[in-house]
Structure 1
Amino acid sequence: MLFPLSYLIFFFFLIMGILISISSPSWFGVWIGLELNLMSFIPLISFKMNSYFSEAALKYFLIQAMGSALLISSSFLFISMTLISLSLILFSLLLKMGSAPFHFWFPQVMEGLMWPQVFLLSTVQKVAPLTLVSYLMITETLSKLTIVSAIFSAIIGALGGLNLMFLRKIIAFSSINHLSWMLIAVSMSDTFWLFYFSVYSFILLSVTSMFFKLQTFTLTSLIKSDQNSSLFPLIISLNFLSLSGLPPFTGFIPKWMLIQAMLNQSLFLPTFFLLSSALVTLYFYLRIIIPFILIFNPVMCFNSKFKSFSFMSPSIIVKSSFNFLGLLFPFYSLLL
């Protein structure tokens, strides 16, 4: 079991905090919801007595407390200096979700988490800030600030993941890069970012589930893991290719739609940076994929040091099958 049964109460308040934030009519209510969400997520990080979990929980708490303090203090200026107040609120939300240039804490916190918490931090914990950022898209200045943050996130998410051996840091910089696409989508339409976020969440669920089953945290341990199943290299490779947004996998569909929308609105410069960063991220995904495909040999001696794991388990197959829906997308296009 991922978490003790008694921790269901924390999951309940985690979701409750998100709902309070996105449905509140005032920034004070938003602040209360975010604080409830924060205090519910801390026990989920440090549910085991471990120094790494405690360090990650402390770092996460300090950063989120800083973001909450900036948000509630900025809201006091709303009546007298509206644009400055909304800009500072936007910065506080970018800090909370780990968007560039406020990304410095995100990879370090991710490094101290287990894979289920990595998935929660990369997806669930971004729902409230992204929704609140979409509420702020009422002036052209705020939209431009969001687009600038998206460009920075694309660059840093791409360059930061190069030459890394730790899978959690690679997923962290990958999340920052995907966040850039979501921020661009937020500045354009709620439908776009919700669709992109949903697809990204399903793809990341399949990737983190496999890493959790294998209990692997570095590229070396992934290469040395038990590969007795012939589906092992195939499923992981296709999942990462889908996460990179390579056609014709499912991860390409929201990027394709977003690229068309950006070109229709003449956002050529952000499109250039996002596509260039996608090419760089594809490189460090290939660094994960290529080695254990080339070295693949079921009888290699070091494989005996790892527990046997069958990728024929229904949960892994079901989660990974979502990445292959993009292969059917051309047929849907022909029917329209």
Structure 2
Amino acid sequence: MLFPFSYLIFFFFLIMGIMISISSPSWFGIWIGLELNLMSFIPLISLKMNSYFSEAALKYFLIQAMGSALLISSSFLFISLTFISLFLILFSLLLKMGSAPFHFWFPQVMEGILWPQVFLLSTIQKLAPLTLISYLMVSETLSKLVTFTAVSSAIIGALGGLNLTLLRKIIAFSSINHLSWMLIAISMSDTFWLFYFSIYSFILLSITSMFFKLQTYSLSSLIKLDQNSSMFPLLISFNFLSLSGLPPFTGFIPKWMLIQIMMNQNLFFPIFFLLLSALTTLYFYLRIIIPFILILNPSMSFSKKFKSFTFSSPSIIMKTSFNFLGLLLPVYSLLL
């Protein structure tokens, strides 16, 4: 089990905090929901008495407390100084979900938590801030500011993942890069970002579930695994190629739709940086994939000391098969 049964109550309040935030009619209610979400996620990080978990929980608490303080204090200015208040509220939400230029804490926290918490922090914990940012798209200036933030996140997420060997940090910078696509979608549509968010969540769920089963956290330990099947390197490769948005995998579908929308609105400048960052992220995904292609023969495995990967788990197969929908279904003809 990913979490002890007694911790399910914290997961319940975590979801409740998100629902309170996105459905509240006032900024005070939004703040209460975000605080409930924060205080429910801290125990999920500190599952064991470990210095790494405690450090990650403390860093996350301090950053989120700073963002919550900025949110509640800037909401006081909403009546008298509406635009400045919305400007500061947007900054607080960007800080809480780790978007550029407030990304400095996100890879550090990701490095000190386990794979189930990595999935929660990269997906569910960003749902409320992204929804609230979509509520703030009431003026052209805020929309342009979100677009600038998206371009910054794309560049930082692409360049930050270069020359890294720790898988959790690679996933962290990849999450920052995917966040840029969601922010661009928010500035243009109220609902399309949710479609992109759902696709990204399913792809990341398959990758984090596999790494959690393998208990691997670095590129070297992943390569040293006992590859007793030729399907193992192919499965890892296809998952990362889908996460990078390479056609014809499932991860390409939302990116292709978003590129079409941006082309129709003549947003060529953000498209250039988003596509350039996508190519850069594909490069550090290939750094993970190429060793598996080179040692595709099971007899070339480096070590037999690590646990082997088996396909006996139906949940792993079901989660991973989502990445192959683009290969199995003629979805592209429906999008034209």
The correspondence of residues 54-203 of structure 1 with structure 2, limited to 5 A, is 54-203=54-203
CA RMSD of aligned residues (A): 1.3
* TM-score, structure 2 as length reference: 0.98
Q: In the alignment, which residue of structure 2 is the partner of 1:265?
A: 265
Deviation track 1:172-202 (CA, whole Å, cap 9, x = no partner) reads 0000000000000011112210000000000
1:155 shift after superposition: 0.1
Quote how far apart the aligned CAs of 1:309 are: 2.3
TM-superposed CA distance for 1:335, in Å, is 10
**Runs of 4+, deviation exceeding 3 Å:** 299-302, 328-332
| 2:7 pairs with 1:3 | no
Amino acid corresponding to residue 318 of structure 1 in structure 2: M
Which residues of structure 1 form unaligned runs of 5+? none
Residues 231 and 311 in structure 1, CA contact (< 8 A), matched pair in contact too = no
- Shifted more, 103-112 versus 305-314: the winner is 305-314
Describe the SS at the equivalent of 1:123: helix
Change in 2 beyond 3 A, CA 1:81/1:249: same
In the alignment, the residues of structure 2 paired with residue 229 and residue 159 of structure 1 have an alpha-carbon distance, to the nearest angstrom, of 34
Taking a change above 3 Å as real, the CA distance of residues 235 and 65 of structure 1, as seen in their structure-2 partners, is same
- Any conservation in 2 of the 1:227–1:303 contact (CA below 8 Å)? no
Give the C-alpha shift of residue 97 in structure 1.
0.5
* Deviation of 1:267 (Å): 0.9
Matched, 1:248 2:248: yes
The unaligned stretches of length 5 or more in structure 2 are none
CA distance, structure 2, for counterparts of residue 234 and residue 267 of structure 1: 36
Task: Give the Cα–Cα distance (whole angstroms) in 1 for the partners of residues 302 and 331 of structure 2.
Answer: 44
How far did residue 326 of structure 1 move?
A: 1.1
- Give the TM-score taking structure 1 as reference length: 0.98
| Aligned residue type for 2:267 | L
User: Is the 1:244–1:278 Cα contact (8 Å) retained in structure 2?
Assistant: yes
Q: Residue 303 of structure 1: SS of its match in structure 2? A: coil
Q: Distance in 2 between matches of 1:147 and 1:308?
A: 44
Residues 178-228 of structure 1: per-residue CA shift (max 9 Å, x gap): 000000001111221000000000000000011001100000000001210
Helix, strand or coil: the match of 1:56? helix
The whole-number CA distance in structure 1 between the counterparts of 2:60 and 2:190 is 28
Give distance in 2, aligned partners of 1:231 and 1:83.
Answer: 55
Q: Aligned pair in 2 of structure 1 residues 135, 223: CA closer, same or farther (>3 Å)?
A: same
**Residues of 1 paired with 2:231 and 2:292: CA distance?**
12
Cα distance in 1, alignment partners of residues 134 and 11 from structure 2 = 24
Q: Give the deviation of 1:230 after TM superposition.
A: 1.7
CA distance in 2, matches of 1:329, 1:93: 37
Task: Give the Cα–Cα distance (whole angstroms) in 2 for the partners of residues 103 and 169 of structure 1.
Answer: 12
The secondary structure found in structure 2 opposite 1:102 is coil
> 1:314 Cα shift?
1.3
How far does the alpha carbon of each residue in 1:261-287 deviate from its partner, in whole angstroms, 9 at most, with x for none? 011111111111000000000000000
Q: Which amino acid aligns with 2:37?
A: N
**Inter-CA distance 81–217: structure 2 relative to 1 (3 Å threshold):** same
After TM superposition, the structure 1 = structure 2 runs for residues 306-317 of structure 1, keeping only pairs within 5 Å, are 306-317=306-317
Q: What is the letter of the counterpart of residue 80 of structure 1?
A: S
Name the structure 2 match of 1:305. Answer: 305
Aligned equivalents of 1:214 and 1:321: distance in 2? 18
Are the equivalent residues in 2 in contact too, given 1:119–1:208 (CA < 8 A)?
yes
Residue of structure 2 in register with 1:323 after alignment: 323
SS in 2 for 1:47: coil
Query: 2-side partners of 1:81 and 1:31: how far apart?
Result: 19
How many residues end up aligned between the 2 structures?
336
Distance 2:204 2:301 in 1: 31
Inter-CA distance 238–335: structure 2 relative to 1 (3 Å threshold): closer
Is the counterpart of residue 31 in structure 1 residue 40 in structure 2?
A: no
Q: How does 1:276-295 map to 2 (within 5 A)?
A: 276-295=276-295
Q: Is the 8 A contact 1:262 1:271 kept in 2?
A: yes
Letter in 1 for 2:290: I
Q: Distance in 1 between matches of 2:282 and 2:188?
A: 25
- What residue is the counterpart of 1:217 in the other structure? 217
User: Alpha-carbon deviation of 1:304?
Assistant: 1.2
Structure 1 position 171, deviation (Å): 0.1
